[in-house]
Structure 1
Amino acid sequence: MTNPRKHFALVSLAASTAFGAHHAHAAGVTAGTLIENTASASYGTGGATTTVNSNTVSIRVDELLDVAVSSLDAGSVPLADSAVLTYRLDNTGNGAEAFSINVTPTVSGNGFDAVVQTIAIDSNDNGTYEPGVDTVITNGAATPELAADGSTRIFVVVTQPSGTTDGLAGQVRVTAQALTGAGTPGTSFAGLGQGGGDAVVGATTANANALGALIASSASVALVKSFTIVDPFGGAKPVPGAVVTFTIAATASGSGAVNDLHVIDAIPAGTTYVANSVALGGTALTDAADGDAGVASASGIDVTIGTLAGGASSTVTFQTTIN
């Protein structure tokens, strides 16, 4: 008798996959297999030999429910804006089974709790999370069926909560449980095994979990503005006609990086911008909106620094003349 639970619109996955250094193997003979045996005996009477056979005994192998989950990430994954954690799910039982997936970002000892955005199954088995390609599931939903000894990857996309301090550590737990049921080893579910036999909970309790590790990797920017003056008489007095060179130093701190960093400044009242005086890191920029990183006019400047890693600095300079 076919177990209808095994056909609730889940797509069967391949019997096994090649990824991962440690592959957990299914337990023994495939569920539903018939182990049959017939005994025979021979004896002699009056010079003749007679052979007789016993009845055939038949044993249908029950399904053993077992599962393993492991993290595939090498060490802690840096988390700035978002990150992808990768886990491996192995069906170590001896029959086809689907597994419910629960993701918990709240783990005892966490320095911060990540925000879970997406849970997905590696639908094309290439090991890389691909939005729009990999199969997204809701928290608590089931995977497609995995054949005995079958494996798949689970991707968990997380973001960093606001206010997280750089360098804090966090973990995300992924738990997989056999959809047929779980519990104390030896617990039996009558008639729910592959091939019509029973399903029996194995040593893993048909429930397993693994932790993925994160490290907060954020950055912030500090701006320091300074100026120098050269007056028309060779001194440094702020008199009409003096040229003021403004220097804006942008310094990033933290273990991460900032992106799309712009330095914007208005031309001070009482002064006139010196055309084409903008420079980034000592390299002159044009005022026009062309291929370089700067735009400037009589009203102000806008210089694109772009990406700046924690611990790095960049400077923007421009000049005005006191009216």
Structure 2
Amino acid sequence: MTRPEKQDCEWRSHPLAAIPVRWRLSLAAGAAALFMTPVSAQAAGTIAGTDIVNVAQATFDGPSGGPPVTIDSNIVTIKVDELLDVTVVSSDPGDIATSPALTGQASTYQVTNTGNGDEAFTLSADTAKPGDEFDTTFEQIILDTNGNGVYDPGVDTIYTPGTNDPVLAPDESVTVFILSTIPASASDADRAEIELSAVAKTGSGTPGDIFAGQGDGGGDAVVGSTGASDEASGFFVIQAAEITLVKSATVTDPFGGAEAVPGAVIRYQLVATTTGTGNLTNLAITDDIPADTTYNAESITLEGAALTDAPGDADAGAFDGSSITVSLGTVPGGQTRTITFQVTID
């Protein structure tokens, strides 16, 4: 092939320099096919630090009917910034039933990194929210070490802000517990609000705020739609129960009257009444046999049904030689139990 005259073309050091300038095409970034590095998509999109690579191509017929020629544009690389987002939700299905003066009462939350980069989160608890009936006393925030979603004392990790802030990958969650002490002054059916907050350690603020160069993977960090902070509340409700016990007696003497003479029978009646929204657990009623009387064997009744004296048998009654006991088990508030037994005056 005869080299063209200089006025017809120019020669360059480019690999395609053998092609006359008049045959070349000027390249633009969007002139041809786009090549992107594959990435895995998460809830918040492409992972922070991913390089998006863009190369354009131009293809044209070779000179003198030769094979097609392809040339590449310059490479354009854009690094994906970190989006800072987080969600906090209560994991309790409803109000947590508790009682006055209890300690170590746990409310449960789920903290999820909804951003697109690894991020640490600072946690805080608020147990003095306005508008509820009582405030608990904050004890500790606990991280669910074994991941079973249940607070395990001595197994799960005590959280210390700035020391073991949870670092979560995109879409990763951690279960968090807030431990509280219930005040002795709390009343039946009162509620207390307990709030957990999580804030991205890189920063938070108005959506779109930028923390230059601080993103995971080397790019910027950009505040997402949550403001890079979120909070959620759980609630305790007092389910307390109280009991009143009223005792009465009737006397039947040997002569058909009601005089308390030797040989007269005293029938004692015990009426236990529970109130409140909670339960009384392992409720038992005990009454000592009075001095100068003798217990009448097998005389215990519960709701009019006879009970045996033998301790530890199938029914609720027992006589141990000096007192009677009726074991009522768990009794909800708003219930009444009536017990009777008899003695004879010596």
TM norm. shorter chain > 0.5: yes
Map of 2:4 onto structure 1 = none
The CA distance in 2 between the partners of 1:258 and 1:311, in whole Å, is 11
Unmatched runs of 5 consecutive residues or more in structure 2: 1-39
1:62 equivalent in alignment to 2:81: yes
Task: Determine which of 138, 155, 161 is the counterpart of 2:159.
Answer: 138
Matches within 5 A, 1:272-287: 272-287=294-309
CA–CA distance in structure 2, aligned partners of residues 85 and 321 of structure 1: 55
Q: Point out the more displaced range, 202-211 or 108-117.
A: 108-117
1:76 corresponds to which of 95, 100, 115: 95
Aligned to 1:53: 72
Matched, 1:29 2:46: yes
2:281 maps to 1:256: no
CA drift of 1:267 comes to 2.1
Aligned to 1:8: none
**1:89-100 matched pairs, under 5 angstroms:** 89-100=111-122
Measured after TM superposition, the shift of residue 182 of structure 1 is 2.3
Matches within 5 A, 1:90-169: 90-116=112-138, 119-123=141-145, 128-131=149-152, 135-138=156-159, 140=161, 142=164, 144-169=166-191
1:296 aligned onto 2:319: yes
Q: Percent identity?
A: 44
Which residue is 2:3 aligned to?
none
Q: 1:188 to 1:57 in 2, by over 3 A?
A: same
Query: Which position in structure 2 is the counterpart of 1:217?
Result: 239
- Offset at 1:74? 4.0
Structure showing greater relative contact order (alpha-carbon pairs closer than 8 Å, 6 or more residues apart): 1
State the Cα distance separating 1:305 from its structure 2 match: 1.6
CA deviation after TM superposition for structure 1 residue 94, in Å: 0.7
Is the contact between residue 166 and residue 216 of structure 1 (CA under 8 Å) also seen in structure 2? yes
**Contact 1:121–1:143 at 8 Å: present in 2 too?**
no
Partner in structure 2 of residue 21 of structure 1: none
* Residues 84 and 129, structure 1, Cα contact 8 Å, conserved in 2: no
Q: Which residue number corresponds to residue 56 of structure 2?
A: 39
C-alpha deviation, 1:243, in angstroms? 0.7
Say which one has the larger Rg. 2
The separation in 2 between residues aligned to 1:308 and 1:139, in whole angstroms, is: 41
C-alpha displacement of 1:194: 2.1
> Which one has the bigger strand percentage?
1
3-state SS of paired residue (1:251): strand
Q: Please state how far the C-alpha of 1:239 moved relative to its aligned partner.
A: 1.4
Task: Provide the rounded CA distance (Å) in 1 between the counterparts of 2:122 and 2:310.
Answer: 58
Q: Which moved further from structure 2: 39-48 or 255-264?
A: 39-48
The DSSP-based 3-state class of the residue aligned with 1:163 is: coil
**For each residue in 1:80-130, what CA deviation from the matched residue of structure 2 results, as whole angstroms up to 9, or x when unmatched?**
36665332322111112232222222111010113455644455555x525
Deviation at 1:237, TM superposition (A): 1.5
- Verify the 8 A CA contact 2:311 2:320 in the aligned structure 1: no
CA drift at 1:202: 1.9
TM value normalised by structure 2: 0.75
SS at match of 1:98: strand
Q: 1:214 to 1:250 in 2, by over 3 A?
A: same
> d(CA) in 1 for partners of 2:160 and 2:317?
46
TM-superposed CA distance for 1:244, in Å, is 0.6
Residues 130 and 73 (structure 1 numbering): CA distance in 2 closer, same or farther, change over 3 Å?
closer
Task: Verify the 8 A CA contact 1:257 1:309 in the aligned structure 2.
Answer: yes
- Pick one of 192, 197, 201 that aligns with 1:170: 192
Identify the range of structure 1 (259-268 vs 34-43) with the bigger mean alpha-carbon deviation.
Answer: 34-43
Q: Residues of 1 paired with 2:214 and 2:265: CA distance?
A: 86
Cα shift at 1:311: 0.2
* Amino acid across the alignment from 1:30: I
